Amino acid sequence: MTQTSPDERKIREREHGKFLALDAERIWGWRTPAGKLRARRRAQLIIDRAGISAGKKVLEFGCGTGLFTRAFVETGAELTGLDLSPDLIAEAAQKPAKNIIYMVGDVERPDFPEASFDAVVGSSILHHVNAEVALRAAHKVLKPGSRVAFAEPNMMNPQIAIQKNIPAIKRIMGDSPDETAFFRWQSAKILRDAGFVDVGTLPFDFLHPYVPEVLIPLVKAMERVVEGIPLLREIAGSILMWGRKP
């Protein structure tokens, strides 16, 4: 089997960006009532773990349409949103906001000086790229003592496992050909291998974006219970991963 080269993968991701730009937030599931709640919770978890606050300089990997960028900037931080897709960056730029700069660029080779950011964050981006390379790049541009935090799909979740490993399902769900998902142990390892310390991971998210609005309170209540049960929480839809540069 011929292995895909990094350049071929990035060409495919740019093409995928063109497809997503047609209606990205619907495809990602962030537009429904449940999806909006999921996004708000995810953004806050990333903010808390990355230590984002007023005046901090934050780099967001894979900013897409800027949905999470706009949530992060509400803290008073200064955001730079980076994405490989010029089409998605063009969509993000349609909703300009104070203290946000959007740039087309490669998260595996971000063109910034060393030690220039107080945090590097991202939502559902590392599973599209070479995560090891991207995290080493994040380590390089972070100031000492600063943190990374990412939310990524959990390969232990049955739907995610099917969606990421069966090409036909990938196409139906609007995934790119090369994207994958992470196991919890794998997330911790790639953070440590990239040089981060105080590494942590947390499975979370049992609220599916297509839960009917009337059922959201019930599902949220169940989510709180299940996320407190060690074995059951391992099949949550997402993994929060974080670490600190020494």
Q: How far is CA 13 from CA 43, 131, 166, 211, in A?
A: 24, 15, 18, 29
Contact between residue 148 and residue 177 where contact means Cβ atoms under 8 Å apart: no
- The structure's pTM equals 0.94
* Bridging pattern class, strands 117-123 and 78-83: unpaired
CA atoms within 13 Å, Cβ hemisphere of 5 = 3
Domain ranges of the chain: 6-244
Q: What is the pLDDT of residue 176?
A: 87
Q: What is the pLDDT of residue 177?
A: 86
Q: What is the mean pLDDT of each run of 10 residues along the chain (246 residues)?
A: 71 90 91 97 98 98 97 98 97 93 97 97 97 98 98 96 91 86 97 98 97 97 96 97 98
Q: What is the pLDDT of residue 174?
A: 81
Q: Write out the chain in H/E/C secondary structure.
A: CCCCCHHHHHHHHHHHHHHHCCCHHHHHCCCCHHHHHHHHHHHHHHHHHHCCCCCCEEEEECCCCCHHHHHHHCCCCEEEEEECCHHHHHHHCCCCCCCEEEEECCCCCCCCCCCCEEEEEEECCHHHCCHHHHHHHHHHHEEEEEEEEEEEEECCCHHHHHHHHCHHHHHHHCCCCCCCCECHHHHHHHHHHCCCEEEEEEEECCCCCCCCHHHHHHHHHHHHHHCCCHHHHCCCCEEEEEEECC
Q: What is the pLDDT of residue 165?
A: 92
Q: How far apart are CA 72 and CA 53, in angstroms?
A: 9
Contact between residue 100 and residue 66 where contact means Cβ atoms under 8 Å apart: yes
CA atoms within 13 Å, Cβ hemisphere of 137 = 20
End-to-end CA distance of the chain: 40
Q: Which fold has domain 6-244?
A: Rossmann fold (3.40.50)
